[in-house]
Amino acid sequence: MTYEKLSKRTGISVSAFKKIGGKLDKHTTLVNVEKICMALNATPGQLLEIVPDPPESEPKPKKSKKKKKTTSKKKKKTTKKKT
């Protein structure tokens, strides 16, 4: 069935079907799912597939940067007085 025919049966725009079909819009409403199911005489389980997210890899511990100890010797400024 084409997006155009399905659009006429459901009242959902063709552009919305293109987004859903192209996986650009992963967040359609349940109302739209119901309309599609009614138009196709199908159940939500026949239309949808749950795909789990890939496991996130554990972040590597950051290496601690040791601060270099700096010894700052303050030099006294001496000014010569003009006489």
- Tell me: pLDDT of 65 over 70: no
**Among residues of the chain, what percentage have pLDDT more than 90?**
17
Q: What is the per-residue pLDDT for 27?
A: 75
CB 64 within 8 A of CB 35: no
Residue spans of the domains in the chain: they are: 3-47
Eight-state DSSP code of residue 56 = P
pLDDT value, residue 50: 77
Instruction: Give residue-wise pLDDT tens across range 1-60.
Output: 888 998 999 998 998 888 877 766 667 788 888 998 999 999 989 887 777 888 887 766
pTM more than 0.85: no
C-alpha 25: how far from its chain's center?
12
Burial group, residue 19, by CB count within 10 angstroms (0-12, 13-18, 19+): middle
